[in-house]
Amino acid sequence: MTPAHAEAPAPPVLVLDHLTRRYGSLIAVDDVCLRLPAGARHAVIGPNGAGKTTLLNLIAGTDRPDRGTIALNGTDITRTATAKRSRLGIARSFQQPSVISELTVLDNVVLAGWPHHPKRRGAWRSPSRYRLHEESAARHLETVGLADLAHRPAATLSHGQRRMLDLAAALAGEPRLLLLDEPAAGLTDGDIGRLLTILGGLPDSVAVILVEHHVEVVAQLATSVTVLAAGRVLVTGPTGEALAHPEVRDAYHATGAASGGEPAVAGPSPTDTRG
Ligand code: ATP
């Protein structure tokens, strides 16, 4: 019997319940259920057109489901506007880094963190308050290894550096759930190594959902994986089991989808994600 004073277990950070999105006759996301604990490191993989980005769009709120519900930390956010979801702790990085080229690297992160900062009111006319914003932004640039480039125009950054800046901007909102859409796409091996170090160092207070074609990145970062095919969940489970699942191997062989070739079979320690 549970003692009366025992703390209630934390609600899962994210629960998707029968989530479905249709575009005309095409079902891009088909009856997807998923339950992620706080601090999850979860990857969503699958062939091109499997519905991975649509799933992220539904969670971020830039697209709406036709059926099903989304709960964040126990609160139903299915009909909640994107900006409010962001204030509730959902942050996102995009396949194409969303960086404002005309601003400095630092100001990109200041701008991204502004709506979330406790001292946001009047900061534009108070130098001391503005400095607090800059200090927060500088910390996030430090995290992604761009501190030395803080005062450079973002236009001068390489593709890999823009990706890191996009990640710093996402972290500036102090997210509880970070959605990463193909963060390793177009990166050099060196940049992928840096990305793995940065993402591997994120605190447990941040849960991560990673859409990624690089299976080796998935195997290193994710403790659990959902494999989508034609919008449906083929399998959800601990990384090693999910990647080794015979249907997953068949799906990847059929499409040649994984840039890393065959799915890796070894993964980090399992986390139960089934609801
Ligand atoms: P990729 O790995 O190529 O990025 P994906 O798994 O992210 O693919 P989605 O981009 O989610 O797949 O697309 C899933 C399906 O939904 C595809 O068939 C796509 O053409 C279709 N689709 C996505 N967005 C729309 C839209 N706005 N209107 C119509 N069809 C769409």
pLDDT in the model for residue 272: 36
Nearest to 91 by CA among 153, 13, 148: 13
Q: Is the CB of 257 under 6 A from ligand 1?
A: no
Cβ 179 vs Cβ 56: under 8 Å: yes
Report the 10 Å Cβ neighbour count for 78: 17
CA of 55 to the centre of ligand 1 (A): 10
pLDDT in the model for residue 229: 92
- Tell me the pTM: 0.84
Confidence of residue 14 (pLDDT cuts 50, 70, 90): very high
Over residues 37-56, the mean pLDDT reads 94
pLDDT in the model for residue 263: 43
Which residues fall within 8 angstroms of residue 125, CB to CB, at 6 or more apart? none
Main-chain dihedrals φ then ψ at residue 115, nearest 5 degrees: -65, -15
Nearest to 262 by CA among 221, 211, 216: 216
pLDDT in the model for residue 138: 94
- Give, using CA atoms, the residue closest to atom 24 of ligand 1: 54
Q: Is the CB of 52 under 6 A from ligand 1?
A: yes
Question: 159-171 and 127-143 are packed helices; what angle lies between their axes, rounded to 10 degrees?
Answer: 120
Which residues fall within 8 angstroms of residue 57, CB to CB, at 6 or more apart? 63
Could you report the per-residue pLDDT of 111-168, keeping only the tens digit for each?
888 766 655 555 555 666 777 788 889 999 999 999 999 999 999 999 899 999 999 9
Main-chain dihedrals φ then ψ at residue 235, nearest 5 degrees: -160, 145
- Alpha carbons 198 and 203: distance in angstroms, whole number: 10
Q: What's the full length of the chain, in residues?
A: 275
pLDDT in the model for residue 120: 59
Over residues 171-187, the mean pLDDT reads 91
Nearest to 184 by CA among 127, 146, 222: 222
pLDDT in the model for residue 63: 97
- Give, using CA atoms, the residue closest to atom 10 of ligand 1: 53
Over residues 180-203, the mean pLDDT reads 91
Closest atom of ligand 1 relative to the 46 alpha carbon: 6
> Please, what's the largest Cα pairwise distance for the chain?
62
Q: Is the CB of 28 under 6 A from ligand 1?
A: yes
